[in-house]
Amino acid sequence: MSLTDAQRAEIAAHAQETSSTRRPTVPALEAMLYDPQEVLDHGFLRVIDYMGDDSAIVQAARVSYGRGTRKVSEDAGLIRYLMRHRHSSPFEMCEIKFHVKLPIFIARQWIRHRMASVNEYSARYSILDSEFYLPAPEHMAAQSEINRQGRGAVLEGADAAAVLDILRDDAMRTYRNYETMLDTDEGYGLARELARINLTLNTYTQWYWKIDLHNLMHFLALRLDPHAQYEIRAYAEVMLKILHAWVPQTASAFEDYRRGAVTFSAGMMKVLRSMLAGEAVERADSGLSKREWDEMMASLKG
């Protein structure tokens, strides 16, 4: 991870600051504030601020005037009920703000999650650093033959090395050209908003990303899926650890009812009931498409 000495000093100074507050805080998350968690080769993710905790969800659901006197187990039971029955608004009472450094091509996937507030580093105003994402050898894979947006077998030996050379050379060459276009003395003095258009998509950018807990869990449910692209999944895995530190009761319910759960259609449930009744059901007679049938069988096998 590439942090300058000035950035490290700024983070360390910020981490030493304390503020008295009457609002609930979470010690486990307080200990993580501002600390960059490394992701990929030059990326990071860190928590900048947050609002609320598990008790805030319970308070909103009960519309109570304080944190309450009920047992922790009762609060956990209510949170699990809310998660199980998809009651989303109590989870929207909690928010969290991240500072993320990520490759541009991942930022373009990430931004599709629109229920968040985003402010990205401006390459119209500032000059981007010469940092590029290069996949580790174990993530250099060919196109999947069965999934149009997925990876297949890992490239080996000379093929993997050649692709890495192409990625590295293209990124460095376009960055050199970027510098030349910007240079007012020996280059062309081109406007920053134009010079940036030649950069490769593996160039790193940064942003602040603020989101409520309900929509964060939606993001994680999609981006933690094994079919999600590895690079965005790497960020989601760090965010999942943060979720467990921030709202442990909610995170546990999320693991059980969202991440570890499957959804069956009405047609799938009809087939499943027939199977449980001891009836033999063939795909051709099930009313399900081949893909639906395969997905159902894969879920049942675990």
pLDDT tens-digit map of 240-298: 999 999 999 999 999 999 998 999 999 999 999 999 999 999 999 999 999 999 999 99
pTM to 2 decimals?
0.91
CA–CA dist 193, 125 (Å, integer): 8
Whether residue 283 sits in one domain with residue 156: no
Whether residue 85 sits in one domain with residue 25: yes
Whether residue 250 sits in one domain with residue 217: yes
Whether residue 138 sits in one domain with residue 124: no
Whether residue 247 sits in one domain with residue 139: no
Whether residue 88 sits in one domain with residue 16: yes
Q: What is each CA distance from 261 to 225, 258, 267, 274, in whole angstroms?
A: 12, 5, 18, 21
Q: How many domains does the chain have?
A: 3
Catalytic residue among 67, 223, 233, 283: 223
Query: What letter represents residue 36's amino acid?
Result: P
Q: Is 158 annotated as a binding residue?
A: no
258 is catalytic: no
Question: Which range has the worst mean pLDDT, 3-17, 189-203, 253-267?
Answer: 3-17
CA–CA dist 13, 189 (Å, integer): 37
Q: Is 99 annotated as a binding residue?
A: no
- What count of residues does the chain have? 302
- The tens digit of pLDDT for each residue in 138-180 reads 998 888 777 777 888 888 889 999 999 999 999 999 999 999 9
Q: What is each CA distance from 299 to 210, 268, 273, 302, in whole angstroms?
A: 34, 11, 15, 5
CA–CA dist 7, 5 (Å, integer): 5
Whether residue 223 sits in one domain with residue 80: yes
Written as six digits, the tokens of 205 are 């950018």
Confidence band of 109 (pLDDT split at 50, 70, 90): very high
Residue at a domain's end among 186, 201, 216: 201
Written as six digits, the tokens of 19 are 């503020």
Whether residue 15 sits in one domain with residue 70: yes
CATH for 211: 3.30.1360.170
Whether residue 97 sits in one domain with residue 60: yes
CA–CA dist 192, 126 (Å, integer): 8
Q: Is 74 annotated as a binding residue?
A: no
Q: Is 214 annotated as a binding residue?
A: yes
Pairing mode of beta strands 141-143, 117-120: unpaired
- Give the residue numbers spanning the domain of 246: 5-130+204-259
Whether residue 60 sits in one domain with residue 182: no
Whether residue 142 sits in one domain with residue 84: no
Whether residue 107 sits in one domain with residue 63: yes
Report pLDDT for 65: 63
Q: Is 218 annotated as a binding residue?
A: yes
CA–CA dist 38, 33 (Å, integer): 14
